[in-house]
């Protein structure tokens, strides 16, 4: 029996030419694409500089959507004034909004990473805390990452994927993940229709949402850390990419 074709995964990216270090930005973008390939998907990376006709074709052909990391979302998207947000790129916001609208209309699986988790929350009607201390550290490739424990919530989709639902789940009560963000989703910021699936502590005893997911049965998962950066991510999170690509493979 012939194997199923690799599903097309649209990956929204930041334009590396607008970065202070384009080479590093291209490397970070490639890590998302490579993670999709390892999981059996066919990534189609697109950023805000791509021509409109290319963007339209990529949106039409996707079977799944990966919202990657990048600059801060425009606070006006969640009805707030700037209060700690930096480097806002409205062209990237428009790209993610357009991709999300198509994915939602077709009920496609969506994986959000870092900014992508925050975007999922905002697109559901939630908010973002525009700055938290102690979670950013050195930029990727410029020093050791800040890390912290991740506590997954039993019974959630991501817990079942990463830790398993049987006896193996007890072996993964917490995992250590990287941290490259200065904005966050606090429990009070969480949008209707989403549930928190993982938590971290910000160093002051307050839990921040580190993973979230849709409650309506659709495959929509966001993580605040960067699982594509395998040098600082537990190998269990390769299962997250595999589950995402498998969900895209099942799209009719």
- What's the mean pLDDT in 228-244? 93
CATH 3.40.50.880 fits 8-130+183-197+210-249, yes or no: yes
Share of the chain above pLDDT 90, in %: 59
15-41 tens-digit pLDDT: 988 888 889 889 999 999 999 999 999
Q: Residue 118 pLDDT more than 60?
A: yes
As a whole number, the mean pLDDT across the chain is: 87
- What is the token pair recorded at 230? 């395998």
180-205 tens-digit pLDDT: 868 889 999 999 999 999 998 555 56
Which sequence spans correspond to the domains of the chain? 8-130+183-197+210-249
The predicted pLDDT at position 1 comes to 43
Give Cα separations from 140 to 69, 147, 155, 191, 209 (angstroms): 12, 13, 32, 29, 22
The predicted pLDDT at position 33 comes to 98
Q: Residue 213 pLDDT more than 70?
A: yes
Q: Is the dihedral of CA 221, 178, 35, 168 positive or negative?
A: negative
The predicted pLDDT at position 201 comes to 59
Biggest alpha carbon–alpha carbon distance for the chain: 56
Residues in the chain: 252
67-95 tens-digit pLDDT: 999 889 999 999 999 987 788 889 999 99
The predicted pLDDT at position 18 comes to 87
pTM score: 0.92
The predicted pLDDT at position 134 comes to 57
141-151 tens-digit pLDDT: 566 777 888 88
Share of the chain above pLDDT 70, in %: 87
Which ranges of 51-187 would DSSP assign to H, the alpha helix?
52-61, 90-106, 115-123, 157-162
Give Cα separations from 252 to 7, 18, 63, 103 (angstroms): 11, 37, 9, 13
């Amino acid at each position: 029996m012939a194997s199923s074709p690799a599903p097309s995964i649209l990956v929204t990216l930041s334009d590396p030419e607008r970065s202070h270090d384009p080479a590093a930005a291209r490397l970070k973008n490639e890590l998302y694409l490579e993670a999709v390939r390892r999981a059996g998907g066919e990534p189609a990376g697109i950023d805000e500089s791509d021509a409109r006709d290319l963007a339209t074709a990529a949106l039409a052909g996707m079977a799944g959507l990966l919202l990657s990391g990048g600059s801060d979302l425009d606070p006006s998207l969640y009805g707030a004034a700037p209060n700690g947000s930096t480097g806002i790129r409205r062209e990237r916001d428009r790209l993610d909004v357009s991709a999300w609208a198509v994915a939602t209309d077709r009920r496609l699986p969506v994986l959000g990473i870092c900014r992508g988790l925050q975007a999922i929350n905002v697109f559901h009607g939630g908010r973002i805390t525009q700055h938290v201390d102690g979670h950013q550290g050195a930029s990727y490739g410029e020093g050791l990452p800040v890390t912290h424990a991740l506590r997954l919530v039993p019974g959630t989709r991501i817990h079942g994927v990463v830790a398993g639902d049987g006896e193996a789940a007890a072996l993964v009560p917490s995992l250590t993940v990287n941290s490259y963000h200065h904005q966050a989703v606090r429990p009070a910021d969480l949008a209707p229709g989403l549930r928190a699936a993982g938590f971290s502590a910000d160093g002051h005893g307050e839990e921040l949402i580190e993973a979230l997911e849709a409650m309506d049965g659709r495959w929509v998962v966001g993580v605040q850390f960067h699982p594509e950066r395998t040098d600082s991510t537990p190998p269990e999170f390769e299962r997250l990419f595999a589950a995402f690509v498998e969900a895209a493979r099942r799209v009719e």
